[in-house]
Amino acid sequence: MKIVNTPEEVRKQVALWKKEGFSVGLVPTMGFLHEGHGSLIKKASEENDKVVVSVFVNPIQFGPSEDLASYPRDLKHDTELVSECGGDMIFSPSPSDMYCEDFCSFVDVENLTSGLCGAKRPGHFRGVCTVVTKLFNIVQPERAYFGQKDAQQLAVIKRMVRDLNVPVTIVPCPIVREADGLAKSSRNTYLSSEERKAAVILNKSLKKGLAALTSGERNAEVVKNIIKDTLNSEPLAKIDYVEIVDSSALAPVTNINSSILTAIAVYIGKTRLIDNFTFNL
């Protein structure tokens, strides 16, 4: 399995593959890979001849008080997981390989980024869209794979690709969960054992919200309150947001009569975790 660090090396290898008629899939990640990433890589390798996994902790999508410096990294483990799951190449650039000193071009998706995590993390999606655009331009994949756990990120990237005619098919992949329902995340590693137990409250609260919807509740405020009350029953949980939005425009809804995304962000101790479900009417 090849590990390369510069955009030039990626381009050279991908050009050779394309010359041989191979299709290329891309799985963009920030590393510290877990089974959730593994499922993306496996899907990508089923659907493409060659799979590139990017491992890059993208500095421009972190706010000044966020966890850029402490974000977990383990390239050795990542390499093993990528090769077990059928990946062909890791692209692991340094920040200076991706951003030259006078870098000043960014990709901004409006509207969809004003609520949910966008409201809490100013500049985050500008950083995500910029790095994803760069990765698309460097790798030039036919398909790119994103997890549904980051539901807003997925919606924003789909919109960017549509609006800017980017020739990449975005493939959404289901959330992978631990046995007790906690969504897999590289940030779960920050949790102490007490916090880890408390973190199941995210999935529990969403299940209660979903149960209300399936039994016919259509008032978004009522469903949100069911979720909030469940979260508030856990002393270690502090709600960042609980929102119900239209699944494509991500605009808040009051009466549920279309496909919706229910998304939450919750602090367990100092660790901010997100989770969601979609409900299609």
Catalytic residues: 37
What are the angstrom distances between the C-alpha of 214 and each of 104, 138, 188, 206, 280?
47, 44, 29, 12, 10
Find residue 143's DSSP bridge partners: 25, 169
CB of 14 to ligand PAF, least distance (A): 18
Shortest distance in whole angstroms from residue 151 CB to ligand PAF: 11
Show the tokens assigned to 192.
Answer: 């102490």
Q: Is 30 in the site for ligand PAF (CB under 6 A)?
A: yes
Is position 53 an interface residue for ligand PAF (rule: CB under 6 A)?
A: no
Cβ density class 86-115: b for 16+ within 10 Å, e for less: ebbbbbbbeeebbbeeeeeeebebeebbeb
At 187, is the secondary structure helix, strand, or coil?
helix
Answer whether 72's CB lies under 8 Å from 32's CB.
Answer: yes
Residue selected from 4, 24, 25, 28 as contacting ligand PAF according to rule CB under 6 A: 28
Per CB under 6 A, the segment of 3-11, 26-34, 166-174, 206-214 that binds ligand PAF is 26-34
29 binds ligand PAF (CB under 6 A): yes
Q: Which of 13, 39, 45, 61 binds ligand PAF (CB under 6 A)?
A: 61
Our finding on whether 226 is near ligand PAF (CB under 6 A) is no
Does residue number 107 form part of the binding site for ligand PAF (CB under 6 A)?
Answer: no
Considering only CA atoms, give the Rg of the chain: 19
Q: Is 250 in the site for ligand PAF (CB under 6 A)?
A: no
Question: Could you tell me if 202 and 229 are in contact, meaning their C-beta atoms sit under 8 angstroms apart?
Answer: no
Going 115 to 120 to 122 to 125, the CA torsion angle's sign is: negative
State yes or no: residue 45 binds ligand PAF (CB under 6 A): no
Strand partners, 279: 260
- Closer to ligand PAF by Cβ: residue 113 or 153: 153
For position 276 contacting ligand PAF by CB under 6 A, the verdict is no
Residue 151 makes contact with ligand PAF by CB under 6 A: no
- Side-chain-side CA neighbours of 261 within 13 Å: the count stands at 24
* Residue of 39, 48, 58, 203 that binds ligand PAF (CB under 6 A): 58
Minimal distance in Å, beta carbon 219 to ligand PAF? 32
Report in angstroms how near the CB of residue 78 gets to ligand PAF at its nearest: 12
Residues near ligand PAF (CB under 6 A) are 28-30, 58, 61, 128, 131-132, 150, 153
